[in-house]
Amino acid sequence: MKNRLKKILALLLFLLIILPVINVNAQDNQPNILFIFVDDLNTELNCYGNKTVQSPNIDKLAESGTIFTRAYCQWSVCGPSRASILSGQMPSQTGIRNLTTLIRDVNPNIVTLPQYFKNRGYTTAAIGKVFDPRSVDSGHDTKSWSIPYSIKYKYPSEYGSFVKGQYRVTYNTATEMGPEGVGDDGYIDGQICLDALTKMENFAGNSEKPFFLAVGFKKPHVPFISPRKYWELYNRDSLKLEPFQKPAANSPDFVYFKPEPAQYDDIPELWTYDDVELGDDILEPETQRKLIHGYYACISYVDAQVGKLLAKLEELNLRENTIVILLGDHGYHLGDHNQWGKHTQFENAVNAPLIIHSPGFGSRRCTTPVDFIDIYPTLTQLVFDDQPDHLTGKNLTPLLKGDPTEFQPAVSEYRAGGHASYSFRNERYRMTLWFKTSNIRVDKVSWNTQTVFAGELYDYQTDSQETENLYNLPSSKQIVDELLKDAESWWTYQYNKIHSISTGAVIRKKESVPFQNPVTDYLKIPGHLGEVGLRIYDLRGNLVLQKQNQSNSVYVGNLKTGQYLVLLEWEKMDEVFDFKMVKI
């Protein structure tokens, strides 16, 4: 009996020692990340509603995760958009607004998304076009990756000496169907896929550390060239053209861009893109269908590579512990507004696919407008239950759960014609503001409506094709005024974030108005101000309290502990006064 008791006690002691270790290991079972970029991919996918396009593998991913139908890039050009996505910051913060500036030249201490995971113990690797190579060093931003970056691929010798990932029989063509006998591996995206498959196998063989694998496919970026079998999926004559191919009525002429295919020898250069009176000078329907055919074929080609990656996850038993993100870096015009390319603030240029598959979350379709800078804080929240302070995006986890959540409008930056631009998209409207100069930006100046040079307003409930700019119509004044308030709150939050304004009073006028921090149940307002319009926002830009107040205090006891942005308006001031409030 005593021996049996000793054995039981010994077993209990063993369990007391070993169980904490087992629990720690269970908590450390962090998910892998497969982050898939697709260059110039717009929402012309089957799962987004285009039943002509054959994208079965992306569709299957969408069926197992959350598909965001209103996801927006922060700049409709590769370099600025990718820098923004991978830093979790607006272009105004990253300093990347072109294709020549290196991220770490202007922002040396930036912590990128893969770098954050690397610092937390992940093995990180990049394949293909993740950052735009013109925005980073020769190591594709060396600090981001624990495995050195390489793009040296060996193509099958039987394809011939010309094969360099852009197989073209004819020089400088915008489209071309691949020759007989050239498979997926005769093009760069096929090689990128093979590289990714090898790395996934290596990761599975070394399971001590989770991995963050970023894979960047280069199609459907122009030129539209891919293996023959993907062209044969489509009947060119049946492809539909965009119904509206003119500039929007009442829109500024500088908001349009020279179509990208015009740089190729097989596409005529001489057609207008910004003149309503010459709207008939669009590409011939046959040429349009040729471009659309090439674009769709490239989508199907990339979709096949995505399918290989997902199948490899299944083969290696990694699917149930891997978060998969797939997105386009921005959208792409295929003839609407007589535009072919990106480089605008219209819906088809800034709206792009975003699909998030995270184990433990169901399948759903989300129509809430979201920003691509939301991806960074969402991933850190999912994996580490953390949101770094330097980020300005929102955590999308509530939307992954299907919880109803109200966000501020999605925002995209751009510049054209010497004007800085910010476009604000909610579920119904898009308001695009063009400022007097290109230096009137959220990183340089505080909010001031007097600096607006021109505006655009589109109502997608009544005008899904963006055929008419409603901004200056008297009937639109109320809507514009409401959207300007949203723009002001977003701008003020971003301005304060960029300039790291500390807690306490931030005076925009000479008149000094003292406020005390922290507050508990009541926010005191100096009595001499009279009637005050008050709005309080959380640091994600969500309005949490709004009222007209005539007393010298406002009850804030219902607010959660944290920091808030308080905006006050009163007759003695022609600008909004703002300061940070700390609630305890």
Q: Is 86 exposed, middle or buried (0-12, 13-18, 19+ CB in 10 A)?
A: buried
Distance (Å, rounded) from C-alpha 59 to C-alpha 379? 22
**Collapsing DSSP states into helix, strand and coil, what is residue 516?**
coil
pLDDT tens, 65-118? 999 999 999 999 999 999 999 999 999 999 999 999 999 999 999 999 999 999
Percent of the chain at pLDDT exceeding 70:
83
**Collapsing DSSP states into helix, strand and coil, what is residue 304?**
helix
Give the count of beta carbons closer than 10 Å to the beta carbon of residue 93.
Answer: 23
Provide the CA 176 distance to its chain's centre, in angstroms.
30
Whether 396 and 440 have beta carbons less than 8 Å apart is answered as no
pLDDT tens, 312-365? 999 999 999 999 999 999 999 999 999 999 999 999 999 999 999 999 998 999
Distance (Å, rounded) from C-alpha 312 to C-alpha 243? 41
Distance (Å, rounded) from C-alpha 97 to C-alpha 416? 12
Q: Is 108 exposed, middle or buried (0-12, 13-18, 19+ CB in 10 A)?
A: exposed
Specify the long-range contacts of residues 570-576, CB closer than 8 Å, at least 24 apart. 570/529, 570/530, 570/531, 570/532, 570/533, 571/530, 571/531, 572/511, 572/529, 572/530, 573/509, 573/511, 575/446, 575/448, 575/508, 575/509, 576/447, 576/488, 576/492, 576/508
> Cα angle vertex 141, ends 80, 354, to 5°?
50
**CA nearest 46: which of 60, 64, 66, 29?**
60
Provide the CA 198 distance to its chain's centre, in angstroms.
28
Residue 503 pLDDT: 29
What structural domains and CATH numbers belong to the chain?
Answer: 31-399 (3.40.720.10), 410-498 (3.30.1120.10), 504-583 (2.60.40)
Max CA distance (Å), the chain: 102
Pick 543 or 529 by higher pLDDT.
543
448 is written with which tokens?
């001031």
Report the range of poorest mean pLDDT among 135-139, 274-278, 470-474, 527-531: 274-278
Pick 16 or 386 by higher pLDDT.
386
Residue type, 566: V
Distance (Å, rounded) from C-alpha 166 to C-alpha 383? 38
Average pLDDT of the chain to the nearest whole number: 86
Across the beta sheet with 322-328, the strand order is 123-128, 211-217, 32-38, 322-328, 354-357, 66-68, 364-366
Confidence tier at 573 by pLDDT (50, 70, 90): very low
Whether 324 and 34 have beta carbons less than 8 Å apart is answered as yes
CA dihedral 56, 62, 67, 71 (to 10 degrees): -50
Q: What is the CA radius of gyration of the chain?
A: 26
Averaged over 221-237, what is the pLDDT? Answer: 97
Residue 42: CA atoms inside 13 Å, Cβ hemisphere, count?
23
